[in-house]
Amino acid sequence: MSPDLLLPTPPIVRPDKDRFLQEENPFEAMMSRFDRAAVLLDLEPGIYKVLRNPEKQIITSIPVMLDSGDVEVYTGIRVLYNTSRGPAKGGIRFDLNVTLDEVTALAAWMTWKCAVVDIPFGGSKGGVVCDPLQMSVGELERLTRRYTSSIIQTLGPDSDVPAPDVNTNERVMAWIMDTYSMHVGHTVTAVVTGKPVEMGGSRGRREATGRGCMIVTKRALEHLGMPIKGASVIVQGFGNVGSVAAQLLEREGCKIIGISDRTTGIVNPKGIDVESAIAYVAQNRTLAGFTKGDAVSNSEMLTCETDVLLPAALENVITTKNAKHIKAKVICEGANGPTTAAADAILDEKGVFVVPDILANAGGATVSYFEWVQDRQGYFWAEDNVNKSLTTIMERSFDAVLDLSTQHKVNMRTAAYMLAISRVATVHRLRGVYA
């Protein structure tokens, strides 16, 4: 087993309470886009009602024995939004800001994301309200195992398959897989994805979301007739998604002129050497003190002159306050929900080409699907196969969304929602209503 498993990787993000001083509630933001697409699709009222509501919401109390010997009780949530196209798929986050609204929005996003890339999964999400930074590894393990046993009725390779999300990682997935396997009496690797490769994880999974962002950014630049070589790129967030996207875009010939994390933004119009930034973060955990450019604030960085802006950190960072100042020609949404619904209209007016989150960051869900397939077959692919298959799916999905956007004269976000919702609605029509 990799010694990495003994360490809490990736670095845990400190919960940011300001995240909820937002322009919009995440569920309402998701629903306003859903409603727009539903009207354009002329969705029948029955299916509209079904798709506007989550299938199942579980709220559970999780007692955990702390190292001190005291017992603390945490709140755990799991939402299965829609399972018409297959088992629910969606990550689990450990964060003080977890709410039922947020988890439900993220579960719906997973439903649309899996449908946009046409993988046979529905959507779910889960979370536990806790501050993992304040907990020991033993406490986190007990929390994870008790949460798993609380939602065990919904879990399973055929029903609901979790994955890592904010503040959870490969090791947490290993604990979930082990707890589930102990309950059913045999090893079931396909119950979670994002596992360590040594126990049924997929090669290429860690890089998959960033790789998917690179693939669709290239496709967007090609579509707009902008050369990839020398295209300037600013990446917000330098974690799993942002650092890999920056690294792969640099390899394609783009010039990464801005990167940031929660501590600082770094801008250098001549280009930043991404490999050295990754090495710096590996050693120092953050970009603070990285000197290969000028330090700017995160908000300043978003409005710098650039061809591509790739937000890969948090929700609701492009709002009505800053959208009018954005100078990027292309926005590739690596993060979930980085643009508020109200800011969409401003970006449209300015002619910014936005590759929406449910398409741009679907690489992770896609390779999770490959992981689930590999686990079920007991046959594991070479990394090259994973990457080629991911490229095929991302390019095909981008093209399908672009076609729809041209056909209906709508932006890429509305087109992506239309494609996703029509696929889920078709399955509901075929399956009928069981009453």
Binding site for ligand NAD (CB under 6 A): 10, 13, 209, 236-242, 260-262, 298, 312-314, 334-336, 361, 364
Closest CB to ligand NAD among residues 150, 316: 316
Closest CB to ligand NAD among residues 75, 286: 286
How many residues appear in the chain? Answer: 435
Least Å from the CB of residue 36 to ligand NAD: 22
Closest CB to ligand NAD among residues 241, 352: 241
3-class secondary structure, 35: helix
Least Å from the CB of residue 316 to ligand NAD: 10
Closest CB to ligand NAD among residues 245, 410: 245
CA distances from residue 19 to 96, 130, 260 in whole angstroms, order as listed: 11, 16, 17
Annotated catalytic residues are 125
Closest CB to ligand NAD among residues 124, 260: 260
* Count of other CB atoms within 10 angstroms of residue 138: 12
Residue nearest to ligand NAD (CB): 239
Bridge partners of 256, per DSSP, are 233
Amino acid at 408: H
Closest CB to ligand NAD among residues 48, 398: 398
- 221/242 Cα distance (integer angstroms): 18
Residue with tokens 């890592």: 164
* Count of other CB atoms within 10 angstroms of residue 153: 11
3-class secondary structure, 250: helix
- 14/215 Cα distance (integer angstroms): 30
CA distances from residue 383 to 96, 215, 368, 389, 396 in whole angstroms, order as listed: 36, 16, 13, 10, 20
Calculated CA dihedral for residues 7, 10, 12, 17, nearest 10 degrees: -170
Chain centroid to Cα 429, Å, comes to: 28
Least Å from the CB of residue 314 to ligand NAD: 5
Question: 71: which 2 tokens?
Answer: 């017992």
CA distances from residue 238 to 52, 145, 149, 168, 327 in whole angstroms, order as listed: 34, 30, 34, 17, 21
Least Å from the CB of residue 363 to ligand NAD: 7
CB 139 within 8 A of CB 68: no
Least Å from the CB of residue 208 to ligand NAD: 7
Question: 17: which 2 tokens?
Answer: 């309470």
Closest CB to ligand NAD among residues 38, 249: 249
Least Å from the CB of residue 386 to ligand NAD: 14
Kindly tell me the burial class for residue 197, based on how many C-beta atoms sit within 10 Å of its own C-beta (0-12, 13-18, 19 or more).
middle
CB 27 within 8 A of CB 101: yes
Amino acid at 97: N
- 120/88 Cα distance (integer angstroms): 9
CB 113 within 8 A of CB 362: yes
Least Å from the CB of residue 27 to ligand NAD: 15
Closest CB to ligand NAD among residues 13, 425: 13
Least Å from the CB of residue 276 to ligand NAD: 16
